[in-house]
A and B are shown apart, each in its own frame.
Chain A
Amino acid sequence: MLKLTRYILYDIVRSKIVIAYTLFLLTVSFSMFRMEENSGKALLSLLNIILIVLPLISLVFSTIHYYNSYEFIELMLSQPMSRTRIIIAEYAGVTVSLLAAFLIGAGIPVLIFSPTDTGITMILTGLALTMIFTSLAFAVSVKARDKARGIGSVLLVWFYFALIYDGLILLILFGFSDYPLEKVTLALSFLNPLDLGRIFIMLKMDVSALMGYTGALYKDFFGSTAGMALVTSVMLLWIIIPVWVAVRYFKKKDL
């Protein structure tokens, strides 16, 4: 498996897309910290960009990579190599390269300019989100019939998590504004890892004071050990379940 992953990684690095992504993150991070005097504010701006760009890149890049690896996958399938091993190796290759890109592109600048609790939380969240969205991309790509459909579906996934979901939450909030909804929105945030990540970091930033009662409730929840454990498990599930779905589909697929 490690051998396979090594060949996949080698192929990815040579394609230069991941390098471009790293450079993009580096540029954005450094310019944010340069422009803002206050490193907390810079971190917040950076966070907002990352929450949009990271899922998009992870989704689209993973999908393109999967379809471009079709020949490689086919070749490996004719060898004494199990399907599970092949698809997991592909996932590992893509994830490791994207994680490295994020660590270098955003992790290093954050550690230089804002080596705080908040900074580290943001790096960890970014890493988790990278794994989650790569995992989602694999589940979608393995199922989709061709590259165009794959990319289309994955863009829909991105739209949903980055835009539509927030709209739905707002609708619920307005529609039921007479009821106390804090607990409901908290529970709903488990359905969107992006939201979960955002809340998680915001609380560390202490902007939660601005959020009034809701902020206090969230802070209580995320501050407790049980809350932390729950959030971590939910994030892990967001990584594991789509990969598991991808493996299951892949095992049944005709190639």
Chain B
Amino acid sequence: MIRIEHISKRFKKLRALDDINAIFNSGQVVSLIGPNGSGKTTLIKSILGMIKADSGKIFVNNIQINGDPSYRSNIGYMPQIGRYPDNMKIGQLFTMMKDIRNAKDRVLDEELLKKYELEKIFEKPMRTLSGGTRQKVSAALAFLFNPDILILDEPTAGLDPLSSEILKEKIIAEKKKNKLILITSHILSDLEEFTTHVMYMQEGKLIFLKEAETLQEETGEIKISKAIARIMKGEQPGNNWIDKVFHVSAGDKII
């Protein structure tokens, strides 16, 4: 569904993305992990076209992204920091989004809207919302148009345990519908339940992209969070470790 070929991006001298290659397919939940400033958000924003990469290509559903924005109707995006027009009320925000998306001919998914009881606070202006509530609004918007691809940038940060659980259940439910979910988080235990692939980045470089099972085998850890924690600490990952960076070649098929 998404194919990234040799993407590089510099901010002045800083190499935010350094020749990234990856393929993500439907049915996968890819956990994008890496230290602060490793380029996770930059990569996500490049896929969305919000950041323009210096070189490389990105394909979404086999179509290269350049200019034509229609591919984004298949993507639900939850930003790391959700920013919304200050004076707009929550209710107005949802009405507006449905309006500009011509939502009439689409099946809307209002599950999170209901579960987070956002309708009760529809009259609240966005500027008065707490960080967590804002995060709930972002989550509800990301899932609203029932997209095939979900890109969630630290979705559980700032959510209370109950709300976080609701979101995780939602992610599992969407995974069952054979969607592609790309998620970043620093709370590794949150990723445990649904991760199928782990993508690890450091200083703008892709260190590895592996199936969760492979990672478990190679590190000898059952818990993905433990396995990743060991790698992050720079420990020897284990005897079975294969130090091979996932490589995309031109002929690779994407589903």
| A residues lining the B interface (CB < 8 Å) | 3-4, 7, 11, 14-15, 69-72, 74-83, 252-255
Contact = CB atoms under 8 A, between A and B. Distances in A.
A215 B160 CA distance: 75
Given A3-B100, A77-B48, A78-B48, A14 B83 contact: no
Given A3-B100, A82-B67, A77 B85 contact: no
Contacts of B77: 78
B50 A80 contact: no
Contacts of B86: 71
Interface string B197-240: 00000000000000000000000000000000000000000000
B83 A75 contact: yes
B61 interface: no
B73 A80 contact: yes
A75 B84 CA distance: 7
Contact of B49 (A14, A15, A77): A77
Contact of A81 (B79, B83, B100): B100
Interface of B: 45, 48-52, 67-73, 75, 77, 79, 83-88, 96-97, 99-101
B239 to A, nearest CB: 43
The 3 closest A-B pairs by CB, nearest first: A80-B73, A71-B83, A80-B72
B85 A71 contact: yes
A82 B100 contact: no
Contacts of B48: 77-78
A47 B99 CA distance: 43
Contact of B69 (A70, A81, A253): A81
Contacts of B97: 79
Contact of A79 (B67, B79, B83, B100): B100
Contact of A80 (B45, B51, B67, B69): B69
Contacts of A78: 48, 50, 72, 75, 77, 79
Contacts of A254: 45, 50-52
B72 A79 contact: yes
A77 B50 contact: yes
Nearest to B127: A71
A88 to B, nearest CB: 14
Contacts of B51: 254-255
Nearest to A8: B85
A11 B69 contact: no
Nearest to B49: A77
Nearest to A14: B87
A86 to B, nearest CB: 9
Contacts of A11: 85, 87-88
A74 to B, nearest CB: 6
Given A252-B52, A255-B50, A79 B101 contact: yes
17 contacts: A11-B87, A11-B88, A14-B87, A15-B87, A71-B84, A72-B84, A74-B50, A75-B83, A77-B49, A78-B75, A79-B69, A80-B70, A80-B71, A80-B73, A80-B101, A83-B69, A255-B45
A5 to B, nearest CB: 11
Given A78-B72, A78-B79, A82-B68, A72 B85 contact: yes
Contacts of A79: 69, 72-73, 97, 100-101
